[in-house]
Amino acid sequence: MTTDLTTRPGPRAVAAPSRTQAWWRSGAGSLPEVRWAIAATVLFAAGGVCQLAGAPSWLWWGLYLTCYATGGWEPGLAGLRALRERTLDVDLLMVAAAIGAAVIGQVFDGALLIVIFATSGALEAVATKRTADSVRTLLNLAPDTATRLDPAGQEEVVETADLAVGDLIVVRPGERIGADGQVLDGAGDVDQASITGESLPVDKQAGDEVFAGTVNGAGVLRVRVGRPAGETVIARIVAMVEQASATKARTQLFIEKAEQRYSVVMVAATLALFAIPLALGQDLQGSLLRAMTFMIVASPCAVVLATMPPLLAAIATAGRHGVLVKSAVVMEQLAGVTQVAFDKTGTLTEGRPHLTHIRALPRTGLSEGTLLTLAAAAEDGSEHPLGRAVVAAARDKGLHLPAATGFVAVPGRGVRAHVGGHLVQIGSPAHLLPEGHAVAGSATALVAELEDSGHTAVVMLLDGRPAAVLALADRIRPGAPDAVARLTALTHAAPVLLTGDNPRAAAHLAAQTAITDVRAGLLPEHKADAVRDLQQQGAQVALIGDGVNDAPALATAHTGIAMGHTGADLTLEAADVVITRDELSAVPTVIALARRARRLVIANLAIAATFIAVLVAWDLLGDLPLPLGVAGHEGSTVIVGLNGLRLLRGTAWRRAAAGTIRRR
């Protein structure tokens, strides 16, 4: 029996949920705080309508008291739990003030307080959810399944969580890669913007590393799994950002410590404000109303909410743009950076050598193309980085490499092989240049000239005679000069170059990036000493390094920033910040973002303090209506919370980047 695939009925279509349904299921409406706040608001509105319509008092009183229970049970319970642990929570004070208002007949005012207080709590929960969702979307990029090849070469679809190191998976065009690993076979362009932030797809061939969650373009890739699912780059980024979101900044810790003492003083002042006028003959309702109003307007709710939302929003925004900030404390530290120190290799440079040019020696009689072909053919079997650079240069030029025979590699000296009937030797000038030979003399002078210009010089012998000198250099990152200029403008201090490389190479790179303070020939411990010296001079130093030999200096610095090195071996332990997209331009941007977060914290504290001072003075020196006090106090809390969320907007990162450019 056969089935006509063109007429076979497909699965029943499932209608996509509407926006309203999505809001209730997975959006803000899914939060209990939001649902209770909505219920309290509806009950309050119903009570107000009944009261204005002249309904029986028991009806609107019942609606208002139900509003009390709906919107106030959760903060009240949290306050009682805190009281059991001998701490005074502002939530409990707000509920107590609302109950006090009901006792003196001001049930409308108390219900209004409950509604606004529940609404501000709901807004805080929404802010927290948005921050968490912005990070969790990264983890959702990784696919749930992958196509694995079994030992017999047969394909099977498995859960990505079940993939083990060493498994071989097949990734077809348009599919997301299921694990971090290395391409064994095939070629394709991979969109890895979710990991490295690169706007264009990256060509991947055998030997290249790929990451879970990135999208394969054209071509089929066979990938050897290199990490289990829980240790992929994207999983580690999410774990670190979630851990950062759980930390508290020093400012927040200070505020919370002060809050306890302030709350005790506030309760004592409220009791005094109630008892003293009562003792002097004021009526009970008037004394209690003023005391309740004071308790509401003096509560430090907005102050408590002033610090963490901007910092957590900045952490989430930085994470979406390939910058992993470990904690709110680190975000505060970034805002205070006054001096930047750079490592050289792998930080300001790409960290791998490139062939810049070939200098033919006198009477060689061969073109540069022929010399490069012979050199690359001889180096084709080498694993040395300099040899691979020569081979890569030949392939970039489209040169055909003849087969080499008799290949021999001598560590520290170079390689030799027979290519096209010639003996080709490539290696260190100290070992290959014979003394006293005229050609050797010109080669020695050329070697010295190239090394003075910051290159690594390699000599090529052809049939035992010096034929050419190959110049290789570690290429400067394309955005390095611009990043140095932006950091100089941002910190108002020239960056420092700390490198273990030789002084000539360091000076050559410094000239390209406009760095004037160069300290070369440093061992890892000497870099740490240099950072200490800068800090003893009063600087708050951010060290930017590749995170391997720079680990001591990264740990010593006020803030350690590690380049992600294409997102492979992230140095999450040594550094406070990891640039996972391996782009220097992200460094000044994240510092500018941290400074903007600090300005928002200061603005929030000023807003909160101003509202409290004005409302308290009004209550003590004048006659502040309870509804106006409630609206003012809770309104300041809402303003502070929403102000902190501004850094979650998509434009926040672009504005931070644009701000560093304008300062130049």
Segment holding 593, helix H or strand E: helix 586-621
Whole-Å CA distances, 259 to 126, 244, 294, 420: 24, 23, 16, 82
Tokens matching residue 476: 């400067």
Where does 509-642 show beta strands of DSSP type E?
517-519, 541-545, 559-563, 577-579
Dihedral sign of CA atoms 109, 111, 114, 119 in order: negative
Burial class (CB in 10 A: 0-12, 13-18, 19+), 419: buried
Measured between alpha carbons, how far is 613 from 611 in angstroms, rounded to an integer?
A: 6
Place of tokens 């450019």: 661
Task: Residue 99: count other Cβ atoms within 10 Å of its Cβ.
Answer: 16
Catalytic member of 180, 343, 582, 619: 343
Bridge partners (DSSP) of residue 168 are 149, 224
Instruction: Specify whether 180 is catalytic.
Output: no
Do 208 and 171 meet the contact criterion of CB atoms below 8 Å apart?
no
CA 130 and chain centroid, separation? 16
Measured between alpha carbons, how far is 75 from 84 in angstroms, rounded to an integer?
A: 14
First to last CA, the chain: 76
Q: Cα dihedral angle (254, 638, 128, 39), rounded to 10 degrees?
A: 130
Do 503 and 520 meet the contact criterion of CB atoms below 8 Å apart?
yes
Tokens matching residue 575: 């550094």
Do 633 and 624 meet the contact criterion of CB atoms below 8 Å apart?
no
Catalytic residues: 343
